[in-house]
Structure formats: structure tokens, C-alpha cells
Structure 1
Amino acid sequence: MITDKIDREERKDLVIACLALALAFTLVFIRGGWNTWADLVLIFVISVITVGAAFILHEMAHKFTAMKFGYYAAFRKDNGMLLMGVALAALVGVVFAAPGATVIYGQPGREMTKRENGIISVAGPVVNLCLGVVFFVILVAGFALQTLPVILLGTMGLSVNGMIAFFNLLPISVLDGKKVLAWNPVIFAVAILLSLGMVLFAADYGGVMDMVIAAIFGW
């Protein structure tokens, strides 16, 4: 079974990192004027769901793609990054979406190729882009049903997946983007533009979301 390949320490690290990211995103989302305890609980629950899908599947995409190439890989949290992520979200409303990383262990006498590194690195953001389609469908369903929690689930799902993909695709330091760019600049450009587009769409930048929803329903 797939779950047998995720050891106990990795599961613990994933859960802790996921909850920390969910708290960070909650602190960002409530800056928009959600003031009651009921609002806070609703936003946190939706954050846990959306971050759980976006973050865990992102890291598992890295892990199992690496394993397909014959490497051992496991997610490991970084307590310093966890604290920084929550602090930045609380103070300036920015989510530093790197609470750890999937560590890939090499094999003696074998060096990872640029292609392997690029494919492993882009696998996480590609999962986020695919999840964006799922949450867009949820968003449309929410408007069709005129149900606020479903609309929030769709909107926040798009936002979380877009931000996690875009942040990780930045071509700096040890983030995914630097490795993807070194492997294939075209795939890098397409992936980072799509993830940025998802972020802007979820934020309704320029009223694009309103126009798309209005076009779908003929409003």
C-alpha cells in the first residue's frame, strides 16, 4: 500500500507542518474582516481541508516521483520555518509556504541528473495546478447552490494551491523553481504563469472571477 511507504516520523512531520500552514493561511484570510469566533472556526476548518490537500499532495508528488526514479525520499519539517511562516502571516499577511521539504537521498555511485531533478521538482506544483481545477469546480458548484461555505472552500482552495505552487516555483535558493528552470525553461514559465494566474483569479484581481462566474451562469 502507498501509506506503507510513509513512515511514522514523516506522517507526524506532515501533520504538524500542515496544521502550521493552515493556521498561517487562516491568519491571512481573516484579515479581510472575518471577526466572530464562528468565522474564525469556519476559516480554520476550510484552511485545514485546503492546505491538507494542497500541501500534503504536493509533498507526496515529490516523494513518489523521486521513488519512481529509484531514490528514497521523505518529508521533514523545519521548526524554524514553521514559526517564521506563522509569524509572517500574523504580522504582514504573507504566507511563507516552506515549513520543511521532501528530502531525497541519493544512491552511492549515482548522481541525480538535471532531468530527474527537474521532473521531481515540478511534480509538486503540477499537482497544485490540477487541484486548482477541482476547486474551481467546487467554486462553481457553490455559486450554483448559493452556499457560502462551498464558495469559500472553492475560493480558498484555489488561493492556497496557487500560492503554494507559485511560492515553490520561485527560482531562488532550494525552492522547486530553480531546479525546474535549470531543466526546462519552457515548462518552468508555463507552470509559474499558471500558478500566478490561479492566485490572481482567486483574489478576483481585475474582477476576472466575477466575469467568469457571470459568463457561466449567464448573469
Structure 2
Amino acid sequence: MLERITRREEADLFIAWMAISLSFAIIKIAPYGILGQIPRLDPVVVLIYFGIAFLTVGIGFIFHEMAHKFTAIRYGYWAEFRKDNSMLLIAVVLAALVGFVFAAPGATVIYTNSADGRGLSREQNGIISAAGPVVNLLLCGVFVGVVLLGEFLSHSPSGLLTVIGIFGIQINAMIAAFNLLPISILDGRKVMAWSIPVFAVLIIAAFGILLGSFYLL
């Protein structure tokens, strides 16, 4: 399976992973950006936040894109992730300035075989698009388990495992919710075009988990 990830795709995934990890770390360290109140920065705390973001964003982002890729491959199409340098720069700059992450680091491009006249059906496009957010929602459940394990082991809501779990829930819910917005080239538009009930269930779940995650803090 991993041999289907090309060298270029690996490089694009890694660069995008680093950029959005940095963006999420920034908003945790300085929630209002440099235009707001900047807290005193402890280098150790900064490294811990980046490490947690690197882990949780990496899992959520890469699994999201690979869900698109391998679902498309299952339908007989080739697909590869392609980073968008402009959007990566915007994500980091917005996080630094105003504490907001616009997480659109690129897209998984699906190559249809026009030679045999095949193209993506609305159903196939909808299912491929839904695969990414569905994986993120499932990962929210995994990170709930991490939170519970952390609290069981440390008997404290501020233990490292608990913090990682909360980050994981929030970041995966954010990725799912953002991508399910029914606008532009985002997943939500294609899912809604295929099935409104599926779209409704997914977007309600994503925003519900996202809002609920803030109460864990």
C-alpha cells in the first residue's frame, strides 16, 4: 500500500504537515496572534506545544488525505496529494497574526482515465470526499480514549496524555468541520451533491464534537 505514495507526494505531505503543525502550535501558544496579547514564551513549553501539534496534526492530516487517496484507488483511479504553497503560507501568517488557522494545505488530486471514457460519478466523488472527514471523526473517538487513559494514569486533567488527547480531538474535529463546509472545492460541497442526509450527519457530528471539545479544557 505504501508503495503507492510517490516521492513527490511524500515531500508534499511532509511540507504541508510541518506548516499546519506550526500553524496549530502558534494558535495554542498565542491564541490571538501577534496583534493580540502575546504571553511570555518559555522555550520548553513552545517545543512541547509544537511536538503535540506535530503528532496530532500529522495523524489527522495524513490520515485524511490518505483516506481520499486510497478510496479513489479502490474505485480504480489514481490519486496523489499536492501541496499548495500559497495556502500554506496563508495558514502560517494568519495563525501568527490573528490566531486563526485556515487549514487548506493542498488537495488530493484524482486522475480519471479519459481514454476509456470513465469519469467520477456523483456517488463516487461524494464517497471519496466523505472518506477524509469520516476518518477524522473516527480519530476523535481514538483521542477520546487517549484522554480517558491519560486521566486514569495521572489522575489529573492536565497530564501530558490528556493534553495530547484533547488536542487530537480538537484538531481532527477542526479538519473535519472545515472540510465539510459546502463551499468552493471543499469536501462538503461534493458530499452534499451526492447525499444531503450523509452530509447533514457528518457536518453536525463534526461541529458538535468541535464545540464539545472546548468543554474538556
* TM-score, normalised relative to structure 2: 0.91
Map of 2:73 onto structure 1? 67
Q: In structure 2, do the counterparts of structure 1 residues 34 and 130 end up closer, same or farther at CA, with 3 Å as the change threshold?
A: farther
Matched with 2:113 is 107
Identity of aligned residues (%): 49
**Aligned partner (choices 193, 200, 213) of residue 202 of structure 1:** 213
User: Residues of 2 paired with 1:77 and 1:165: CA distance?
Assistant: 18
Shift of 1:31: 2.2
* Higher helix proportion (structure 1 or 2): 1
Instruction: Please give the residue correspondences for 1:73-112 in structure 2 after superposition, counting only pairs within 5 Å.
Output: 73-108=79-114, 109-112=117-120
Where does structure 1 differ by over 2 angstroms across 4 or more consecutive aligned residues? Answer: 31-35
Matches within 5 A, 1:178-193: 178-193=189-204
1:132 matched residue in structure 2: 140
Query: Which residue of structure 2 lines up, in the alignment, with residue 217 of structure 1?
Result: none
Q: Give the partner amino acid of 2:58.
A: G
Q: Secondary structure at the match of 1:87?
A: helix
**Residues 95-174 of structure 1 mapped to structure 2, 5 A cutoff:** 95-108=101-114, 109-146=117-154, 148-174=159-185
TM-score, normalization by structure 1: 0.91
Distance apart, 1:35 and its partner CA: 3.0
| Residues 180-219 of structure 1 deviation map (CA, whole Å, 9 limit, x = unaligned) | 0000011111111111112112211xxxx37xxxxxxxxx
AA matched with 1:176: D
Aligned length: 205
Distance 1:100 1:175 in 2: 11
- Cα deviations by residue, 1:84-112 (Å, 9 ceiling, x for unpaired): 01111111211111110000011111121
Shift of 1:163: 0.4
- Is the contact between residue 57 and residue 127 of structure 1 (CA under 8 Å) also seen in structure 2? yes
Extract unaligned runs of 5+ from structure 1: 211-219
Aligned to 1:101, the other structure's residue is in SS state strand
Q: Which residue of 2 aligns with 1:19?
A: 18
Tell me, which stretches of 5 or more residues in structure 2 are unaligned? 32-38
| 1:173 match: secondary structure | coil
CA RMSD of aligned residues (A): 1.2
Indicate if the aligned counterparts of 1:34 and 1:40 stay in contact, CA closer than 8 A: no
